[in-house]
A and B are shown apart, each in its own frame.
Chain A
Amino acid sequence: MALPTPLQAFSSVPKTSVGNDKQTIVNGEKMTGAQALVRSLEELGVKDVFGLPGGAILPVYDEIKDSTKFRFVLVRHEQAAGHAAEGYAISTGRVGVCLVTSGPGATNVVTAIADANMDSVPMVVITGQVGVGAIGTDAFQEADIVGITYPVVKHSYLVTRAQDIPRVLTEAFHIAATGRPGPVVVDLTKTAQTGDMYFSWPQRMILPGYNPTTKAHGRVLADAAKMFSQSYRPVLYVGGGAVRSGAQRQIAELARVTGAPVVTTLQARGILPDSDSANLGMLGMHGTVAATGAAQRSDLLVAIGARFDDRVTGDLTSFAPTARVIHIDIDPAEIGKNRVADVPIVGDVACVLDDLIPETTRTQAIHGKPDLTHWWASLNKLREDYPIDYDQPEDQPTDGSLSPQWVVKQLSGMADPETIWVAGVGQHQMWASQLVDFERPRSWISSGGLGTMGYGLPAAIGASLGSQRDFEGRKPVWLIDGDGSFQMSSEELATAFLDGAPVKIAILNNSVYGMVRQWQTLFYNKHYSATMLRDGEATKDTAPEDFVDVPDFVKLAEAYGCVGLRAFTEEQAIDAIKRANEINDRPVLIDFRVWKDAMVWPMVAAGAPNDEVTYRPGTKPLRRAAAQGADDAAQVSGAASV
């Protein structure tokens, strides 16, 4: 059949403008926009909403009643509503929802939106907006939140008519959860909230420009499978996209089928159990030497839902210099953004791997499986020689306080195996990712891309409420936080107590901004500018009048109705952890007094090549290995030709 000419094609298009404000649908139940919003959330299966009311969103809050099918969680700061929704979304895999007011309420949630955007967290943020007539007049609490959030959202809506609400909500949830997940802002004018409309459900979405690819197309799978059969030093580099896609089973199977080692990003910790021998741990700035070394020396790097972030690659030009790259990502814009991919595969990770694994098996049946013995021997040597370790003399506290790494190790060892781990941002976050033994996916919640301090407590509350909802409370939540990071959102202890989120909080209190101090120590000549917090200077022997502890975390916890504990020594620490594990009816905070000069090792300095990874001051194992690399490669290719 001949295609229509443009003239024919468009003759069916009405010549008159179709835009009018008349009610086009008059069947359905008559109600206000605010009622329609609540009904839409219920119809969408939303179970929990985080937020804080205000003038411009009051019509909606007025419709939240005892009979409303979702639970509303009142936070004390809108940023926390956003992070709580993130923690909720990551732990449960469902879309997190926030409901906040206009102006300052909306701008407060911008950090959380940017955070969700960087880490691809599905989230819908509903913000109030002044009436349509007042938009642009600098009305009280007016802020152009759609404009403000353009660069940090997946999509945004300004809703001016009540009748659009059910459809916009349907679209918003669809957009947030599908494709590459991300935050969607729905800015709801007061006019839309108070206007009348006819509610009908389900709604037809109008999204002509949104067609995410989930299945791999073309010859790429065969190309990738062929590359596996030709590679003697393969590495699977797994990122947060694999977690979002729920691809833990497929990752484990691909590792088994190909025999390749797995290295993960910060976000993907737990996707493969740490006890699995194929798991080399995290790579990059504070990753293990084995993981970083594996990527550097690989001849095939398979990026799976990972985006070659600078904290992973270090100096990009010298990252994995000898590797060919297979890049699997649902977002085509990530492929080739930082590193050219030899085989680009656009699609959902789980879906692509489901197709790639049988293809690889088929190729192996024809071409055989490469012998990876030498590769594993060299990696195992790195793993044995350079483990994550804090027993060196320079790691031992000199002031009688606790070693922060030791505390994390004890927390991990004594915790329920189902525990969901949450961290703020800083040294404690890196120690948690290095030293907690992750055995389950979605058991690690941390702000990666944006590195948002203060993320921990609200995210932990979200995860805890998500655990109650989806796992019947069987998954306890441990928050590992720093004294600096914690103080950015400590007001949420009120939410945790009043809304029944019995999070367990371990503050690694070194009385300084630890990660900044580490950089000051290493790169700024020990000029400790503005990093002293003076919130944990007392030791167990200090007389009360001789020190300032602002705040006193134990009293702070008690002020909010939580249990506060403090540990100066290892015995006290063990006792406190035991007690915290026993308390499940309210939040528990433990103030661990740790050594302020402890450092996170290994480390690659920002912008330095990964081959320069410093295991300990003065020890750069990969630089030495790089010199031997030529010999290894010769050996491997020799093995290949046999």
Chain B
Amino acid sequence: MANYPASQPGSQRHTLSVLVENRPGVLARVAGLFARRAFNINSLSVSPTERPDISRITVTADVDTVPLEQIIKQLNKLLHVLKIVELDAATTVDRELVLIKVAADESNRSDVLEIVRLFRVNVVDVHPESLTIEATGAEGKIDALLGLLEHYGVIELVRSGSVAVTRGPRALSEKVLGSEITGR
């Protein structure tokens, strides 16, 4: 039952959406739970939501189902955690923002720009020796883009980590409606 470490090679990718109170120390509590159980977090992004009193954490991790269940239960025990949902890839919009600095001079700049056009991403900075590309998309698209750009030499790379939201008209925070978290 108890697997340690929880992240094993070949484990499946899971995306968790965690609604938490927007206050100091919450992320440390959440991240601490992952760390203690040797979860290798693949990506993590946090920011306030449509409600200023609530923040949303999106975590992706490669992990087996049983330890994942345990960590969801443990997360639920944190008082600052309001709601946890494991997002199903089929009904989820999943995006990541990446900034890629590619080594490109006049000899190959147009080739790189062609790739940029094909992927419908943007160039946000140009230098005689480099191009900085801003790309958003699901993981597969980003990986494909990176695969092509690698060839030219990636100088610098930064990824935001996944943010994800379910399709359709419902908001996750509807489930914590009525709990006004103010005044402290």
Contact = CB atoms under 8 A, between A and B. Distances in A.
Given A146-B25, A147-B28, A164-B184, A10 B1 contact: no
A206 B184 contact: yes
B53 to A, nearest CB: 7
Contacts of B76: 332-333
B184 A175 contact: no
A24 B21 CA distance: 20
B79 A333 contact: no
Given A175-B79, A209-B21, A333-B77, A6 B52 contact: no
Contacts of B179: 208
Interface in A1-40: 3, 5-6, 9-10, 13, 17-19, 24
B21 A208 contact: yes
Nearest to B29: A150
A333 B70 contact: yes
Contact of A208 (B24, B70, B170, B181): B181
B69 interface: yes
Q: Point out which of B50, B79, B174, B180 has the most chain A C-beta atoms below 10 A from its C-beta.
A: B79
A317 to B, nearest CB: 9
A316 B1 contact: yes
A337 interface: yes
B107 interface: no
B176 interface: yes
Interface string B39-76: 00000000000111100000000000000011001101
A167 B181 CA distance: 13
Given A18-B182, A150-B28, A151-B32, A9 B82 contact: no
B127 interface: no
B177 interface: yes
B90 interface: no
B14 interface: no
Interface in A139-164: 146-147, 150-151, 155, 158, 164
Given A18-B52, A150-B29, A206-B183, A9 B77 contact: no
A13 B180 CA distance: 9
A3 B170 CA distance: 10
B63 to A, nearest CB: 16
Given A209-B79, A332-B73, A338 B51 contact: no
A548 B108 CA distance: 87
Nearest to B20: A209
A316 B181 CA distance: 42
Contacts of A208: 21, 82, 176, 179, 181
A207 interface: yes
B69 A336 contact: yes
Contacts of A207: 79
Interface in B1-45: 1-2, 20-21, 24-25, 28-29, 32, 36
A6 B174 contact: yes
A337 B21 contact: no
A10 B79 contact: no
A188 to B, nearest CB: 14
A158 B169 CA distance: 38
Contacts of B32: 150-151
A6 B50 contact: yes
Contacts of A316: 1-2
Interface in A93-146: 146
A70 to B, nearest CB: 25
A339 interface: yes
Q: Point out which of A13, A168, A175 has the most chain B C-beta atoms below 10 A from its C-beta.
A: A13
A209 B81 contact: yes
B171 A333 contact: no
A639 interface: no
A320 B118 CA distance: 61
Contacts of B157: none
Interface in B69-119: 69-70, 73-74, 76-82
Nearest to B54: A208
A19 B182 CA distance: 7
A591 interface: no
A331 interface: yes
A319 B70 CA distance: 20
B171 A6 contact: yes
A209 B82 contact: yes
Interface in A201-257: 206-210
A583 interface: no
A10 B179 CA distance: 12
Given A24-B183, A175-B79, A337 B1 contact: yes
A340 interface: yes
B35 to A, nearest CB: 9
B142 to A, nearest CB: 28
B73 A206 contact: no
Q: 4 nearest interchain CB pairs?
A: A208-B179, A333-B73, A6-B171, A18-B182
Given A3-B174, A18-B53, 5 more contacts: A18-B182, A19-B182, A333-B74, A333-B77, A336-B1
21 contacts: A6-B169, A10-B171, A13-B50, A13-B51, A18-B52, A18-B182, A18-B183, A147-B25, A151-B36, A206-B180, A206-B184, A207-B79, A208-B82, A209-B20, A209-B21, A209-B79, A210-B79, A332-B73, A337-B2, A337-B73, A340-B1
Interface of B: 1-2, 20-21, 24-25, 28-29, 32, 36, 50-53, 69-70, 73-74, 76-82, 169-171, 174, 176-177, 179-184
